[in-house]
Structure 1
Amino acid sequence: MSDPKKHCCPYEGCKAAFNRPYRLTQHLLVHNNVKAYACCEENCCKSYTSKSHLERHINIVHRRYDEDVIYSCPTCQNKYANRQNLKRHIKIHHNLRIPFSCDSCNIDFKKKHQLSAHMYIHTGIKAFSCEICSKEFVTLLEKKKHMRCHKNYKCSECPQIFKQWSKYQAHLKSDHESKEEIAGTHSENAQV
């Protein structure tokens, strides 16, 4: 079951909707006429909103048929004008699993969700927010690290409360008992 397309284009008359915020951000470049990927060929003024569109332009317009084609199949050595055609060929003819690639930096991922999470780095969209303080984060890992600051650790021997596990551990060690006993009795009931 696919995600509902909950990220809708705000432009009047445009019905584009996406299941990932970074896809909407990429789509908005079209409306804002932001074309960050410019062709470097002499006497060519073309520019595009995505790297893959620029690559397609270069391969179609500027490459001669007899030039070396950089996308060749590692199994059968067939050559293709762009990466998408090569991936399609491999998937159809060799039945191999194709990794998911980032169009911005060419990093490959084994799973689609990994690529989706990675794309937030390029868009700057802070898609992960703390449910307690509403602080926003680009990656889930950043959010998880932040969530630790909302936990309190109450000492079972005295009324002190600590925001950090390491400070709680140091308190137990220095004020109440030996290191061996800390691991067993206090840690299970410490979190408040």
Structure 2
Amino acid sequence: MLDGKWGGHWVGSVPEQVEDGGGPDLLPANAKYFKCPDCDKAFATKWEYERHRRTHTGEKPFACQMCPYRATQKTSLQKHLRTHSGEKPYACHLCTYKASQKVHLQNHIRTHSSEAPFTCPHCPYRCTRPDMLTQHMEIHSENK
């Protein structure tokens, strides 16, 4: 529950949901919070609030200087820049595969095991990557 508004901050009792700052036991009740006017989320810092607001506004302030790519977060732009530089800091410990993003390495490592965490809700199909499941799901929409 929020008691009042002061200069863009919400002041008073701890809101029910505070992102990245922990719960009421971790944050003082008299702290200032940034409350999103579009949803029920509240944030302990201005930068977390501004980052969240971009999910509603669609603003992408971080631009690649080499192509039209734009991002909502600086870290997303930094990951994207590796596509231009060729940097691949994530290496598989089982083979020579290297990846520019951690998620790509995680997907690759599944090729060395039988792990297939993505499951079709309509049939027994299982796969190692979410994009493979999305592609598979098209067969079910074609059958309707």
TM superposition score normalised by structure 2: 0.41
Higher percent of residues as strand: 2
Larger radius of gyration: 1
